[in-house]
Structure 1
Amino acid sequence: MQGHGSGRRRAAFRFRAAGFVLLVAHLSYVCWLTLRPLSAPWVTAVTLEPLATIRADLALGPWEAARSIGGGLLLLAPLGVLLPLAGGRVTVYPLASFARTVFTGAMISLAIALVHSELTGQIMNVDTVLLNTAGVALAHLAVVPAVRSRLRRRADRKRTAALMANEGRPEDWDEGAQTMTPSLSRVGVAP
């Protein structure tokens, strides 16, 4: 009989594998979308001044601003969920997970912006990086803590059910030998 630990490891591996595949697929789509030549005759001027492009988009009107700013927020937003999913950790410090995810999202956005500026000959747009990073942060905050909490509760329920099924026997009960593994109580170390 296999233990509960091997089933959890398989499930964690499947989550990581699914996260990695989805992450690669999304990044491939983003690279195709951002690095292909534009057919639009006019685009907002790019700049290294923070928030200048966002102000210019807001001056164009609410619908155009919503489309442009929303597109910047949504482009890399799935990374806020896919990066922790590919990591496969359920029990982590929320602030560390958030910082790691946002930093990685910012670096991916910066790399895409640098490659785009190299291919098109345009100056990199800082607002694109800011919007992409904000999208990653918002998606992470909206989804990941709730999903991790739910997964932890489900794991706790399964662990409790397994303990109840074992009728209070310790988890280190060896089913094959029908004996308990001995454990040592706390013993002080001699000088």
Structure 2
Amino acid sequence: MQREGSSGGSAANRVRVTGGVLLVAHLALVAWLMLRPLDVPWVRPANLRPLATIHHDLALGGTAAVRRIGEGLGLLAPLGVLLPLVHGRAVASPLASWTRTVAAGVLVSLGVALLQTGVPGRVVDVDTLVLNTAGVALAHLAVVPAVRARLRRRTERRDGTAVRQEESPRGRTPTIPRVGIAPWSDALPPSSP
């Protein structure tokens, strides 16, 4: 049985804390990049038509299109890895983990877009939301399943059996054999003659 201060629990806590610190740092960087006022002579109108900006970027062709679409994909892509890292489970449902991560990515991207409406020089673009969400989803699919599989294999090799990491921060719960019910003859007081 693992004790609370053993290496298994503290390693998981260190991973979660490191993931949390990196997540906060990344969100601060995103806020700094996307919520600074821009000093521009004119502002283009808001784009509420899905894929219009992406089609325009593709029409530019070459490196300009790759750069602009890559920026949209890459801005929130680290969330696809950092959010599961903060969650800290080596064994999790891949679909549920992906769904939670993508939903959180959509909410963060939507929050940034809504905050941009009050920033001078910034406009809302629905394609930014699409690209940011796609970046989160792709980063999660590219990194998280492989890392979780590697962690599970390493844990199985170390322990010799498949032990679930998230069972308890203190280790596995000990089991007690079931106690049977006493017969009624032992539970009732003796009868008088």
TM-score for both structures, normalised by structure 1: 0.80
Kindly indicate whether the alpha-carbon contact (under 8 Å) linking 1:44 and 1:53 is maintained by their aligned counterparts in 2.
no
Within the alignment, does 1:31 sit opposite 2:31 as a pair?
yes
Runs of 5+ unmatched residues, structure 1: 162-170, 173-180
Counterpart AA for 2:61: G
Kindly indicate whether the alpha-carbon contact (under 8 Å) linking 1:110 and 1:129 is maintained by their aligned counterparts in 2.
yes
Counterpart AA for 1:26: H
Aligned equivalent of 1:184, options 142, 160, 177: 177
**SS in structure 1 opposite 2:48?**
coil
Counterpart AA for 2:95: L
Matches within 5 A, 1:121-132: 123-132=123-132
Shift of residue 38, structure 1, vs aligned partner: 2.9
- Paired residue for 2:73? 73
- Alpha-carbon distance between aligned partners in 1 of 2:175 and 2:76, rounded to the nearest angstrom: 52
Larger radius of gyration between Structure 1 and Structure 2: 2
- Paired residue for 2:94? 94
- Paired residue for 2:60? 60
Aligned length: 172
- Paired residue for 2:13? 13
Larger % of helix: which? 1
| Shift in CA distance, 34/126, structure 1 to aligned 2, threshold 3 Å | same
- Alpha-carbon distance between aligned partners in 2 of 1:45 and 1:98, rounded to the nearest angstrom: 33
TM-score for both structures, normalised by structure 2: 0.79
Runs of 5+ unmatched residues, structure 2: 162-170, 184-193
Counterpart AA for 1:3: Q
Q: Which has the higher contact order (CA 8 A, sep 6+)?
A: 2
- Paired residue for 2:140? 140
- Alpha-carbon distance between aligned partners in 2 of 1:53 and 1:186, rounded to the nearest angstrom: 69
